[in-house]
């Protein structure tokens, strides 16, 4: 186990699982042995940018972990933030850190409370309050957390107003998703639903047009006019939209293809359509 540092010399916490030894850092004083809290609902976030955005959010940061020997200006800035907020910091040897967080971590990770999520009605109200022509995105069976993270990143960057994912048949929002989203997970409203079809019907009642992204779509995404509240539905990596979900869509659109491959990764497809929606909105302003 690596060295652990805690910045509030009077603060003690009870734990569910393990003990760490507290040592001084940045003026802290040697404290007694404590046990840090561990909760099944906690989320691990790794990567500098994702961690930085999580610290800005309303989540509670329970602990920051750093790979021993890792140091740069951005990591030091995060450690200074931890110091100012009395957040526990633990330094782990490189093998232990990599074993726990894999290889794509940039040498720093944090344990946070779960992200607060809206229910579907709240998400609809939030989107309609933001724009007269908002876009919400529904994902039907995205299994790869890297794809989910990339979609979240593109969605937030390109002005999508929220994301809806099913509770089942979908990648979980985990540390890989947060890392691939590069901080966007903290900024984009996300909700989960038990039934995607029911969600589409609720969106229709709220005035949204349900538009499915499908290779056999009737019109090009560049010809379709996104001039009304839109619920854009994208399918999974292997099978695309399920037939039952296609039936609930008002229309299907496609991305025109030129090469021989005739297919795109779902996150790339989403980014293309997100940008076309942004382009049309900017043109209409």
- Domains of the chain, by residue range, sit at 4-112, 120-284
The reported pLDDT for the residue numbered 106 is: 84
Residue 224 pLDDT greater than 60, yes or no = yes
The reported pLDDT for the residue numbered 156 is: 96
CA distances from 207 to 72, 170, 230, 241, 282 (A): 49, 26, 9, 22, 22
d(CA 171, CA 184): 17
User: What fold, for 4-112?
Assistant: 60s Ribosomal Protein L30; Chain: A; (3.30.1330)
Mean pLDDT check: name the lowest of 6-20, 71-85, 144-158, 200-214: 6-20
d(CA 138, CA 119): 14
| Structural contact between residues 62 and 109, judged by C-beta atoms closer than 8 angstroms | no
The reported pLDDT for the residue numbered 277 is: 98
Mean pLDDT check: name the lowest of 57-61, 147-151, 279-283: 57-61
d(CA 59, CA 64): 13
Provide mean pLDDT across the span 7-22: 35
Mean pLDDT check: name the lowest of 113-127, 194-208, 240-254: 113-127
The reported pLDDT for the residue numbered 104 is: 64
d(CA 233, CA 101): 32
d(CA 109, CA 116): 20
The reported pLDDT for the residue numbered 177 is: 86
pLDDT band at 267 (very low <50, low <70, confident <90, very high): very high
Runs of H (alpha helix) within the chain: 48-56, 73-84, 94-101, 120-130, 145-157, 175-181, 196-205, 243-248, 266-284
Provide mean pLDDT across the span 62-88: 90
d(CA 34, CA 92): 17
The reply to whether the predicted model has a pTM over 0.75 is no
What are the tens digits of pLDDT across the range 91-113?
999 888 888 887 666 889 889 88
Residue 31 pLDDT greater than 90, yes or no = no
Decide yes or no: CATH 3.40.50.920 for domain 120-284: no
pLDDT band at 171 (very low <50, low <70, confident <90, very high): confident
CA distances from 111 to 35, 106, 212 (A): 14, 15, 36
| Structural contact between residues 120 and 93, judged by C-beta atoms closer than 8 angstroms | no
| Structural contact between residues 169 and 194, judged by C-beta atoms closer than 8 angstroms | no
The reported pLDDT for the residue numbered 181 is: 86
State whether residue 232 is helix, strand or coil.
Answer: strand
Closest listed residue to residue 162, CA positions, set 197, 95, 117, 97: 117
* 261 or 142, which is more confident: 142
Let me know if the fold of 4-112 is the same as that of 120-284: no
């Amino acid at each position: 186990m690596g060295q652990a540092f805690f910045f509030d010399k009077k603060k003690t916490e009870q734990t569910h699982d393990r003990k760490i030894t507290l040592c001084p850092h940045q003026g802290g004083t040697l404290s007694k042995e404590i046990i840090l809290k561990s909760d099944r609902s906690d989320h691990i976030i790794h990567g500098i940018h994702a961690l930085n955005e999580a610290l800005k959010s309303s989540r509670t940061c329970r602990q920051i972990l750093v790979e021993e020997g890792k140091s740069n200006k951005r990591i030091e800035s995060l450690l200074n933030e931890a110091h100012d907020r009395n957040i526990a910091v633990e330094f782990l040897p490189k093998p232990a850190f990599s074993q726990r967080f894999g290889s794509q971590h940039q040498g720093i990770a944090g344990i946070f409370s779960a992200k607060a999520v809206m229910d579907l009605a709240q998400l609809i109200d939030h989107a309609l309050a933001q724009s007269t022509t908002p876009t919400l995105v529904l994902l039907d069976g995205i299994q790869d957390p890297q794809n989910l993270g990339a979609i979240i990143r593109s969605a937030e960057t390109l002005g999508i107003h929220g994301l809806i994912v099913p509770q089942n048949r979908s990648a979980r929002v985990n540390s890989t998703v947060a890392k691939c989203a590069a901080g966007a997970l903290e900024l984009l409203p996300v909700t989960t639903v038990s039934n995607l079809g029911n969600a589409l019907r609720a969106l229709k009642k709220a005035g949204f047009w349900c538009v499915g992204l499908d290779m056999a779509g009737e019109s090009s995404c560049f010809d379709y006019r996104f001039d009304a509240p839109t619920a854009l539905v994208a399918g999974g990596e292997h099978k695309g939209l399920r037939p039952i979900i296609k039936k609930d869509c008002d229309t299907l659109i496609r991305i025109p293809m030129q090469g021989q491959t005739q297919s795109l990764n779902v996150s790339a497809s989403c980014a293309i359509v997100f940008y076309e929606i942004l382009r049309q909105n900017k043109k209409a302003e």
